[in-house]
Amino acid sequence: MSGRDARTAPAPGPDAARRGVVRAVWCEHAWLDADGVVDAVRVEVDADGTVVGVAPGVAAQDGDVVLPGVAFPAAANAHSHAFHRALRGRTHDRGGTFWTWRETMYRAAGALTPALYEDLATAAYAEMVATGWTSVAEFHYVHHQPDGTPYGQGPDDGGEGPGCDGPHAMELALARAAVRAGIRLTLLDTCYLAGGFGTPLEDGQLRFSDGTAAQWLDRLASLRATISVLYPAHQVSVGAAIHSVRAVPEDQLAVIARHLPSGMPLHIHLSEQPAENEDCLRATGTTPAGLLGRYGLVSERLSAVHATHVSDADVAILGNAGAVVVLCPTTEADLADGIGPAGGFRGAGAVLALGTDQHAVVDPWLEMRALEHGERLRTGRRGHFDPAGLHGIAAVGGATAQGRPGAGFRPGCAADFMAVDPHSARTAGSAWEQLAYTATAQDVTAVVVGGALLARDGVHATLGRPADLLVAAIARLDEAADSLSPKEHHECRS
């Protein structure tokens, strides 16, 4: 069946109106979890982009958004640093260590202005949408001007245009980017206060810091109030993050534990590198997970990102609390971080989620597959995560990390779907229930967010080809980075 262009649905009838239906999506085939792939599924959607009705085996109606191929719940990206997209394919010289990567990352961070960041994030988010990610947790720490002066206080660093030099300039740039791309954004405002255990910030890190946890909490409260006025929560919401235990001293962790508003998602980079564990043990007498537990910061709202180098006790701490563990398999492979114990976390009771982190790969299908492959390589066995498990991790686990309802074909779920071609060179011959093991972003034929068609065949509905946006945005960032003096090209190694 050939696809039809999305059109505005006609006015709903009385029954639909009572359910709040404003549009519908008709899927040629849809994966309905336990029922497998079902033909001709029509999904009714309300004004907030939430599923209110699902009818299999029915014909499409005039005005429905029509998805050819096999539709699946879209993926929720639980960990992103949008500006890292500018690093892809540039960090593999001199052996391509984590530290050479980090030097390149700081160079890009130092050149960002609100206007440049809005352009780059718009491009990165458009790429995500076109590949099947429909929400994103943005782990954001580039808050201030390069010398650490908050935006709205003193001269800015070149941000052009309205809103580029006032309070929360960087954060609002990310929000505008997400709205332009149509992706649901959970903006994780990040506390970053130190260059390491007992180590002050270096020059290249000054713009990340608010000075103290109390000052960060004040700015976080102001940001939450600002965002709540400008955007509905299903479009943009604010969460919190602690960059890492090495970047927030122990006494400041205690302040956060006492005063962070309840119910907010809280994320942290945890045990990504063995050196982090060693430094934490030396400075505090416990592991990063143990330190968070010491201050009551391990709970269901916590998302521990990476958690690659953890002890059995760490796994139990996170699992017993029902915390989310956000794995970023393609990034962890790219940086040679290692393979975390995904199966161990699942067995301990943790919720698993997936993220793209530095965007070396932006493809939910490859992240799902890399999760299973990592367990196979770690254990020498196949079949750790079946397709239902992988789709659940991608869609529901990632949404849980954001404090959002996950995508799915049930009332109350987000009406976010990605359809794939089951007859491509990669998927031909696959059992449709097993497309998680064969499909890639190249096979995504359409992406729907909140019941609205946002991408078809890799092209964004309003922004065009993400590649064109990326080329232009990265070129502008490169030009800005090249214009900095040698002194401003900081290489932070802490």
Cα separation values, 133 from 142, 191, 209, 276, 390, Å:
23, 26, 30, 30, 14
* Contact between 120 and 108 (Cβ < 8 Å): no
Strands, E assignment, 95-151: 133-140
Single out the residue of 85, 19, 197 nearest to residue 472, CA to CA: 85
| Residue 69 CB partners (closer than 8 Å, separation 6+) | 28, 29, 419, 420, 421, 422, 445, 446
DSSP 64-83: -EEEEEEEEEPEEEEEE-GG
Q: Is the dihedral of CA 381, 387, 391, 397 positive or negative?
A: negative
Q: Return the structure tokens found at 490.
A: 């900081």
Query: What is the rounded CA–CA span in Å between residue 52 and residue 26?
Result: 14
Q: Which helix (H) or strand (E) holds 304?
A: strand 302-306
Q: 47: which 2 tokens?
A: 């004004």
Task: Assign 154 to helix, strand or coil.
Answer: coil
Strand blocks (E) in 364-423: 417-420
Catalytic residue numbers, as ranges? 306, 357
